[in-house]
Structure 1
Amino acid sequence: MPLAIFALTIAAYAIGTTEFVIVGLLPTVANDLHITLPLAGLIVSVYALGVTFGAPILTALTGKIERKPLLLGLMALFIVGNTAAALSPSYEILLIARVIAAFAHGVFFSVGATIAADLVPENRRGSAIAMMFMGLTVAIVSGVPIGTYIGQVFGWRATFWDVGALGVVA
């Protein structure tokens, strides 16, 4: 597989981790930001809404941009969102940061899948796409527990720093 497929897999891993890791960090975030646990739970919902509404809007707005620069821009948006989350001084800023990261999510997977398919011969396209999406699956199995552990030991912000760093690597 081309090296670019591994980069897509790492990006998918980072995106999958940031999507779900917050669930294990909610009590820590709530305590640190002095909010209730139910209010902290909205951080999960806001991310999901960002993916749901951001993907179709961004897809429509970016349809004429070449795929590689678009994918790099989406990863930059993802990195900015996670960095802003790590730096969030308040609950409101954290919500905005999560929405920014979520906007990259949906579009990344559609653009990334087409790029993965184009990087290999026609008979290997399914494997290339599966390899990219493996990053998402592995994130759920390992990224979320590791990220939760990091957040509980070093503070929830460390998890977002680490996920942002994964975005840079990708």
Structure 2
Amino acid sequence: MKKYAYIGCLGFIAVITTEFGVLGILPQIAEHYKISIDKAGYLLSAFALIIALTGPFMTLLTSGFDRRKVMLTAISIFLVTGIVSSLSPPFWLLMLVRILPAFLQPVYIATALSVAISKVDKKHENQMMSIVFSGVAIAMVTTVPFATWLSGISSWESSFMVQTIVSLIALVIIYFSLPSLPVKGKKSYSSQLKILVQPTFIVSTAMNFFMITAWFSTYSYFADYLNKAKGMDTTMVSYMLFVFGIIGVFANWIAGKMLSKNITNTTAFFLSGTLIMPVLLYFSGSNLLANMVVIGIWGFLYSPSFLNASTYMISSVPQSMEFANSLATSFGNLGVTLGTTLGGWMIMTKGVEYNPWIGFIFGLLAFLMIAVRKILERKQELPQLCKE
């Protein structure tokens, strides 16, 4: 039933708007609070770190609760965060309310994915997951660039009002459109924790971590990069975010189709962007048309990264979808934290124009993990072939 997938997608838009809505306004926040850009980046990295550290545990703890109630609770906290943040509180309070929804972000994603595939045949599961994950790209097309544009003509606080409104809409839709969904036959904790010692899952987790680190070493400072390396103002950055996101919606749809045919090849195809983008960004210089084309390619190759990471990890342990996805979300956000931290360090020591090359290094590490998993899977297949 696609209805459940679209409801999950709407909530995902609220989640992503809250997590990444600050990307375009970090320079303004830094100026307002009289702090450096790397410290302003803590608003993103701290959010991601909480997800990384608590995601799997929170998902396990809430795995027996009614899924509708879990989704409503999560979005309610995102709503409160948006309201408080829009009031320009002291920086420590802004940081605190930014952290609170992070505890339930992976819970929401895992639950929304579980609900989305609950009424469909197994062959359509990846497509339903791609609909939910398209919320990432849709947010990048609509709410994130709109929030950046609004902050440019008004104030940075207004961007948080966008997050508040989106969360409120999602909350209302979930409340009135999603029926009660109690969990039947809850899995034991021990049966789910077993995946933590499976070599293919461990390697898949490392691939996820390296891939997201690669992308976010530059993407976390999207506005600062385009400001300083490409000479764009806030309004132009919002337009670039729009281009980035428009392409990203299409990319998620394509990725969903491709994943249904071959998960590994699809993941590797989009991961190639971490190696290609540093070169393209370097040679595009300050040419506006060239940069628009390059940012479009960037949006296409980056946007399905969370969908690819989750699907790649789940494919190694399909029997533990929700827990595996929560770990995918956690390690992905650990990658966001490391990428943001390394990106901030690079900005302060060398300059933001060097950030994409961090992505190049971690992209190579991610490709190495894909190769290692291939080797492990072949070793697992050999005994079966010998028996036959």
The TM tier, using the shorter chain, reads 0.7 to 0.9
Find the aligned partners of 1:56 and 1:88 in 2 and give their Cα distance. Answer: 32
Q: Which residue identity is paired with 1:145?
A: P
Query: What does residue 35 of structure 2 align with?
Result: 35
Task: Kindly indicate whether the alpha-carbon contact (under 8 Å) linking 1:117 and 1:129 is maintained by their aligned counterparts in 2.
Answer: yes
The answer as to 2:15 corresponding to 1:15 is: yes
Find the aligned partners of 1:73 and 1:47 in 2 and give their Cα distance. Answer: 18
Find the aligned partners of 1:101 and 1:87 in 2 and give their Cα distance. Answer: 17
Query: What does residue 82 of structure 1 align with?
Result: 82
| Count of matched residue pairs | 170
* Structure 2 unaligned spans of 5+: 171-388
Q: Which residue identity is paired with 2:52?
A: T
Structure 1, 41-50 or 59-68: larger mean CA deviation: 59-68
* Structure 1 unaligned spans of 5+: none
Q: Which residue identity is paired with 1:66?
A: D
Task: Kindly indicate whether the alpha-carbon contact (under 8 Å) linking 1:29 and 1:40 is maintained by their aligned counterparts in 2.
Answer: yes
The offset of 1:122, in angstroms, is 4.9
Task: Kindly indicate whether the alpha-carbon contact (under 8 Å) linking 1:82 and 1:160 is maintained by their aligned counterparts in 2.
Answer: yes
The offset of 1:32, in angstroms, is 2.2
Q: Which residue identity is paired with 1:11?
A: G
The offset of 1:104, in angstroms, is 2.6
Task: Kindly indicate whether the alpha-carbon contact (under 8 Å) linking 1:83 and 1:161 is maintained by their aligned counterparts in 2.
Answer: yes
User: What whole-Å deviation, never above 9, does each CA across 1:104-162 have from its counterpart, x for those lacking one?
Assistant: 32111111100111144555433222111111122234432222112222222221121
Instruction: Check 1:122–1:60 CA distance in 2 against 1; reply closer, same or farther (3 A cut).
Output: closer
Larger radius of gyration between Structure 1 and Structure 2: 2
The percent identity for this pair of structures is: 26
C-alpha RMSD of the superposition:
2.0
Query: What does residue 5 of structure 2 align with?
Result: 5
Find the aligned partners of 1:3 and 1:116 in 2 and give their Cα distance. Answer: 8
Task: Kindly indicate whether the alpha-carbon contact (under 8 Å) linking 2:5 and 2:113 is maintained by their aligned counterparts in 1.
Answer: no
Task: Kindly indicate whether the alpha-carbon contact (under 8 Å) linking 1:85 and 1:160 is maintained by their aligned counterparts in 2.
Answer: yes
User: What whole-Å deviation, never above 9, does each CA across 1:67-102 have from its counterpart, x for those lacking one?
Assistant: 111111111122122222223411001111111122
**Runs of 4+ with >6 A deviation:** none
TM-score, normalising length: structure 1: 0.87
Specify the SS of the correspondent of 1:87.
coil
Query: What does residue 54 of structure 1 align with?
Result: 54
Greater RCO, CA 8 A, separation 6+: 1
Query: What does residue 166 of structure 1 align with?
Result: 166
Task: Kindly indicate whether the alpha-carbon contact (under 8 Å) linking 2:2 and 2:128 is maintained by their aligned counterparts in 1.
Answer: no
The answer as to 2:74 corresponding to 1:68 is: no
